[in-house]
Structure 1
Amino acid sequence: MIHEVDEALRRLLGGSGLTASGVEVVFDAPTNDWAARRSAPTVCVFLYDIREDNSRRGSSAGEVYDADGFVVARRAPARWFELTYLVTAWAGRPQDEHRLLSQVLACLVSTDTLGPDLLTGSLAELGLIVGLDAGGTGLDAPAASDVWSALGGELRPSLGVRVRAPLAGVRQVAAPPVTEGLTVRSVPRSGPDGTEPARRLRYTEVSDPGPDGFGGPRERQPAPARRRRRGDRQP
């Protein structure tokens, strides 16, 4: 799921005009060594915190249907996670970095959800809403200054981006629907010639299972007479 969120953010930022202007979108850690090797204008989207949203944990399983409407699998409920990114712009001059970061900010703040055209893999298959918040971080996420300190770099202008995405539950294949009836045929050990009549299980009112097995027609018994209760009016 994490790499699918990365790809959605790449498509979102690339569609805002960054790719057309020659800006590269990467997901590397912006360390000092990485910054020294950078040679082209770059937008760095660094994932630094992953936390589960326990308030959205479900308890019911979902069913997966095929094209004919039959249940082919059962999937455990999705579990939701908050992915927090640190977005920075890298260019030759601070003015160019600020201009680039402003373009990124305009793109992110105008997007509340990652649309279906941006989603791939399990995110596209689940069809659930993937939310996006720009300009802030989760209440429990580390501060940007702590992240820069851990990376060993100098504090730079950055955007906090939080994505709420579902992780697909475990999928268990369901047994195919029953299409044939179950019958038992017993023959004596001395002469197993297969001439003994078949015996239907459970449905004793049918003497012959027929070619349709359990799906064959059965004789409908009349409904039992309604017991008259005290106080009922005579017709």
Structure 2
Amino acid sequence: MIHEVDDALRQLLRHEVLRSGDVDIVLEAPTKDWAARRNAPTVNLYLYDIREDMRRKSRGRINEYDDQGKITARHLPPRYFKLSYLVTAWTQRPEDEHRLLSALLMSMLAYDALPAEMLTGSLRELDMPVPLTVALPPPEDRAFADVWSALGGELKPSLDVVVSAPVESGRRMEAATIASEGVLLSMDGDDPVRHRPVPELPEGSKPAEESRVAMVRMRRRPDAT
């Protein structure tokens, strides 16, 4: 799933902003060593955080049906995970970096989710929205200065891009076989309960003709008052 989001983001930026191909798009950590080796205008998409999106967590089970409309299995709903990217522009001049960042920001503001035609693999198969946010305030437990400190580099203008991607849980439960016959419970004196098939109901009788109904008949003991 993560690599599919990588590909969709790169395709989106290439389609909207970087059509000329003069600017590279990379996923490497923007460390000092990486910056020193860079020799072309570059947009860096650094994935720095992955966590579950608890606001989108669903409960319950989803039914699977066959061609006759019968339930064949049930599975848990997909779970969403937030992939946070630190997006930076690298050129020879700060002015050019700011123009590039501005173009990236304006292009992503036009989308609330990754375009469906850019999704591949499991994201396409799930056929669910993949929400996208850009430049929102970071959570209280995380600061961008901390990210840059961990990378060992100097603080640099950046965009925080967060993609909430659905992931299939993989937990699937086969549906129980539908009963074709009911049971008749009988209590005869001290005899234990016996199970006997329910006889066919005459056509047109009630309950409904198409269903076999489990009937319970209890006979009182001879000495019951």
Fold similarity call, TM over 0.5: yes
SS of structure 1 residue aligned to 2:96: helix
Who is 1:193 aligned against?
none
Structure 2 residue 11 is matched with structure 1 residue 8 = no
Q: CA deviation at 1:219?
A: 5.7
Distance (whole Å) between structure 1 residues aligned to residue 21 and residue 206 of structure 2 = 79
Deviations 1:180-225 (A, max 9, x none): x99xxxxxxxxxxxxxxxxxx94654xxxxxxxxxxxx8626348x
Distance (whole Å) between structure 1 residues aligned to residue 143 and residue 96 of structure 2 = 25
Who is 1:121 aligned against?
121
**1:169 corresponds to which letter in structure 2?**
S
Partners of 1:84 and 1:138 within 8 A in 2? no
Deviates more, 1:166-175 or 1:14-23: 166-175
Structure 2 residue 61 is matched with structure 1 residue 61 = yes
Q: CA deviation at 1:167?
A: 1.8
Structure 2 residue 10 is matched with structure 1 residue 27 = no
Q: Which has the larger radius of gyration?
A: 1
Who is 2:203 aligned against?
220
Partners of 2:88 and 2:101 within 8 A in 1? yes
Partners of 1:49 and 1:141 within 8 A in 2? no
**1:94 corresponds to which letter in structure 2?**
P
Distance (whole Å) between structure 2 residues aligned to residue 89 and residue 106 of structure 1 = 14
Distance (whole Å) between structure 1 residues aligned to residue 173 and residue 9 of structure 2 = 32
SS of structure 1 residue aligned to 2:106: helix
Counterparts of residues 185-224 of structure 1 (less than 5 Å): 202=197, 204-205=199-200, 220=203, 222-223=205-206
Distance (whole Å) between structure 2 residues aligned to residue 25 and residue 174 of structure 1 = 44
Percent pairwise identity? 48
Deviates more, 1:133-142 or 1:107-116: 133-142
Who is 1:81 aligned against?
81
Who is 1:167 aligned against?
167
Partners of 1:131 and 1:165 within 8 A in 2? yes
Change beyond 3 A, Cα 1:223–1:146:
closer
Distance (whole Å) between structure 1 residues aligned to residue 24 and residue 67 of structure 2 = 41
Deviations 1:85-107 (A, max 9, x none): 11001112222222221211111
Change beyond 3 A, Cα 1:137–1:51:
farther
Partners of 1:134 and 1:161 within 8 A in 2? yes
Change beyond 3 A, Cα 1:203–1:20:
farther
Who is 1:44 aligned against?
44
Q: CA deviation at 1:19?
A: 4.0
Unaligned runs of 5+ in 2: 182-195, 208-225
Matched residue count: 192
Who is 2:190 aligned against?
none
Q: CA RMSD in A?
A: 2.8
TM-score, normalised to structure 1, is: 0.70
Distance (whole Å) between structure 1 residues aligned to residue 3 and residue 65 of structure 2 = 26
Partners of 1:109 and 1:135 within 8 A in 2? no
SS of structure 2 residue aligned to 1:18: coil
Q: CA deviation at 1:9?
A: 0.9
Deviations 1:67-94 (A, max 9, x none): 7766565321222222221100111222
**2:149 corresponds to which letter in structure 1?**
S
